[in-house]
Structure 1
Amino acid sequence: MSSFPVIKLFSLFVKQISKPIAGYIKRRSKDNYWVRTYICIPPAQLYHRYDVRLRLWISGSTKGKKIQPLEEQQAINEGADLLGEMFVLSVACGLIGMEYYRQAWNAAIKEEQQDTSLTRLTKDMRKLRLMLNEQSDDIDELVRLIEVLSEKPLGVQKVVTIPNR
Structure 2
Amino acid sequence: MVIGRFPVGKLLIFAMKRVSKPFGDLLMWMGKHHPFIRHYVIIPPAQLYNTFEVRSKLRMLRLKQPRRIPRLSPPIATRLGADMLSEVFVFCIGLGLIYYEISKTYTKNQKKDQEIEDQKRALDERVDCIGADVERQQKDINWIRAALNDFEK
- Pick the TM interval, shorter chain: 0.7 to 0.9
Please tell me whether residue 24 in structure 1 is matched to residue 26 in structure 2.
no
8 Å Cα contact 1:44-1:78 kept in structure 2: yes
Please list every run of 5 or more consecutive structure 1 residues that lacks an aligned counterpart in the other structure: 1-11, 153-165
What are the residue-to-residue correspondences of 1:118-137 with 2, within 5 Å? 118-137=120-139
Supply the distance in 1 between the matched residues of 2:62 and 2:15 (Cα, whole angstroms): 43
8 Å Cα contact 2:24-2:82 kept in structure 1: yes
Supply the distance in 1 between the matched residues of 2:56 and 2:14 (Cα, whole angstroms): 33
Bigger drift between 81-90 and 22-31 goes to 22-31
Distance apart, 1:138 and its partner CA:
1.4
Larger Cα Rg: Structure 1 or Structure 2? Answer: 1
Identity fraction in percent = 24
Distance apart, 1:143 and its partner CA:
2.4
8 Å Cα contact 1:41-1:72 kept in structure 2: yes
Residue of structure 2 aligned with 1:53, choices 51, 55, 65: 55
What are the residue-to-residue correspondences of 1:4-153 with 2, within 5 Å? 17-32=15-30, 33-34=33-34, 35-64=37-66, 66-149=68-151, 151=152
Q: What's the TM-score, normalizing by structure 1?
A: 0.73
Q: Which protein is richer in helix relative to its size?
A: 2
Supply the distance in 2 between the matched residues of 1:141 and 1:127 (Cα, whole angstroms): 21
Please list every run of 5 or more consecutive structure 2 residues that lacks an aligned counterpart in the other structure: 1-9
Supply the distance in 1 between the matched residues of 2:139 and 2:50 (Cα, whole angstroms): 89
Supply the distance in 2 between the matched residues of 1:47 and 1:140 (Cα, whole angstroms): 88
Distance apart, 1:101 and its partner CA:
1.7
| Aligned residue in 1 for 2:3 | none
Supply the distance in 1 between the matched residues of 2:73 and 2:136 (Cα, whole angstroms): 93
Deviations 1:21-67 (A, max 9, x none): 21001112212222444322221111111100111112121244642
Q: What's the TM-score, normalizing by structure 2?
A: 0.78
